[in-house]
Structure 1
Amino acid sequence: MQAVTLGPAGTYSHRAARAVADEVAFRESVGAIVDAVIDGDHDRGVVPVENSIEGSVTESLDALADGNVAVLREVVTPIRHALLAQSPDFQLVASHSQALAQCREFLEREYPDRRREAVASTARGVARAREDDSVAAIGHPANATETAPELDVLAEDIQDRSSNATRFLVIGPEDQRSRAGGKTSVVVYPAANYPGLLLELLEAFAERDVNLSRVESRPSGERLGDYLFHVDFEAGLYEERTERALAAVRDVIADDGWVRVLGSYDTEHVVA
């Protein structure tokens, strides 16, 4: 099986994808990954959706709301950041914006005078550091042996929280959506806004003993102040309580609102 994820080789997404597929291809954006799965170019896509320090990956949330795909699996992996460079005399730290944010305290404490630059991925930062001895990168320490032997590991485990972990969702074609699994993800667009709307949506789950593990609003893109909701809950679509909760949600939303069911799935913890 081949999966497509954020590239180039050496990203944390790449490491997560290797846990679910024999072959891994790369795209430069989550939207392109979703399109590759929809078009049938690849069997699976692996996208980061949430980090324990920096929160949700909004690019992924928006792409999942817009694309007709199914969530088939969840992979949770610890994130170990290292500072990689050709020498300690670097002047710039280049990495993905999430990695820079996850190591903010370390950088401010140890290298307060060094500039920081956000790039498309941690692997892009590693590539910059390989080409320029004035640039350091933040990435998995194995990059120094696997993809960038020119770099030294100047410091390991530099993330601000030792519990740093990222959730990745494995996506597939819409017709492969499963009803089995311990978790379910849906996107709800109420197409309305009035006092108590969110309470009514939450009560649809609470009254049926369905525990919500995440609720997040994102702009709908229709107009300013109009939102949709990403909802994860701890129950499978096969369960009667889930069917009743989703039916109640559909009763709340307006005629032009919708509920997109991404699917039920199980969680796997891997060390990438």
Structure 2
Amino acid sequence: MTVVTLGPEGTYSHRAASAVSDDIVFRESVTSIVEAVGEGTYPRGVVPIENSIEGSVTESLDAMGEHDVAVLREIITPIRHALLAQSEEFDMVASHSQALAQCRTYLDENHPDVQLEAVASTARGVEDARSDSSIAAIGHPANAGENLSVLAEDIQDRTSNATRFFVLGPAADRERAGGKSTLIIYPNTDYPGLLLELLESFATRDINLTRIESRPSGERLGDYIFHVDIAAGLYEERTKQAIEEIEEIASAGWVKQLGSYDVEHVV
């Protein structure tokens, strides 16, 4: 089964996708990955959802709201950042914006004068560093070799750094069984107590929310879409009841059930 994820080869997304299949192809944006899965170009996609330091990956959330896909698995992988370069002398550090942010303290303290350049992926930064001695990269230490050396390891601000990835499939493959579920809720209305009503639909049924995130709907200023992860399966009666209640509250908008899934840890 072919899996599409962020490329080029060597990204953390690539490491997560390797737990799904050996047949991996690459795209350079999350939106194009979600779109490709939704349109049926590829049967599976792997996208980053949340990092333990920098929080949610908003491009992933927005793309899942726009395209018809299902969440089939959650993969959590530890993030080990290393500084890679041809030598100790460089003028720029190139990496994905999330990686740069996750290593902010190290860079400020050890390389305060170098330029920081956000590129499409950590692997893209590694490629740039291989071809240009004035550029250093941030990536997994396994990306060293050829003409790149590891100048420093574990440079992330916190040792507990980890990223959640979603394995996506077409909406027809959505599962109702699993320990967690993801919903996207667009109320298309606003009044005092709206969010409380939505949350009470879960709380009164003893359903734990593991994440809630609001994103602009794009329809008008102050109008939001809510991304919700819950510790319950869609097959459970309490979840069905909660969703029925939420659909009534959001009757002017919509509720998208992305599916139920289990969590897998990949080193």
Shared fold, TM over 0.5 = yes
- Answer whether contact 2:75 2:264 (CA < 8 A) is retained: yes
TM-fit CA distance, 1:236 = 0.1
Normalised to the residue count of structure 1, the TM-score between the two structures is 0.97
Alignment of 1:245-260 (within 5 A): 245-253=242-250, 255-260=251-256
Counterpart among 257, 261, 264 of residue 265 in structure 1: 261
In the other structure, the counterpart of 1:107 is 107
- 2:233 matched to 1:239? no
Tell me by how many angstroms 1:38 deviates: 2.1
After superposition, the C-alpha distances for 1:167-218 in whole angstroms (9 at most, x for unaligned) are 0000001000000000000000000111110000000000011000000000
What is the deviation of 1:248? 1.0
Alpha-carbon distance between aligned partners in 2 of 1:249 and 1:208, rounded to the nearest angstrom: 13
CA distance in 1, matches of 2:73, 2:139: 25
2:168 is matched with: 171
- Within-5 A mapping of 1:173-192: 173-192=170-189
SS of residue in 2 equivalent to 1:113: coil
| Residue identity opposite 1:184 in structure 2 | S
CA offsets per residue over residues 221-256 of structure 1, 9 Å max, x none? Answer: 111111010000000011000000111111212x33
Give deviations 1:116-153, integer Å, cap 9, x for gaps. 111111111111111110100000000113xxx21000
* SS of match in other structure, 2:141: coil
Structure-2 separation of matches of 1:187 and 1:124: 32
> Counterpart in 2 of 1:6?
6
Q: Give matches, 1:31-180, under 5 Å.
A: 31-145=31-145, 149-180=146-177
Query: How far did residue 40 of structure 1 move?
Result: 2.0
SS at match of 1:168: strand
* 2:82–2:154 contact (8 Å) kept in structure 1: yes
Q: 5+ unaligned residues in a row in structure 1: which ranges?
A: none
Are the equivalent residues in 1 in contact too, given 2:35–2:63 (CA < 8 A)?
Answer: no
Equivalent-residue separation in structure 2 for 1:40 and 1:67 (angstroms): 11
Amino acid in structure 2 at the alignment position of 1:113: D
Where 2:259 maps in the other structure, the secondary structure is strand
**Structure 2: runs of 5+ lacking an equivalent:** none
Per-residue deviation, 1:267: 0.2
Question: What do you get for the CA RMSD once the two structures are aligned?
Answer: 0.7
What's 1:224 paired with?
221
- Report the CA distance between 1:39 and its aligned residue: 2.5
| Whole-angstrom CA distance in 1 between matches of 2:158 and 2:87 | 26
Q: What SS does the aligned partner of 2:144 have?
A: helix
Amino acid at match of 2:191: Y
Equivalences, count: 267
Once the two structures are TM-superposed, the CA of residue 41 in structure 1 deviates from its matched residue by: 2.0
User: CA shift at 1:28, angstroms?
Assistant: 1.2
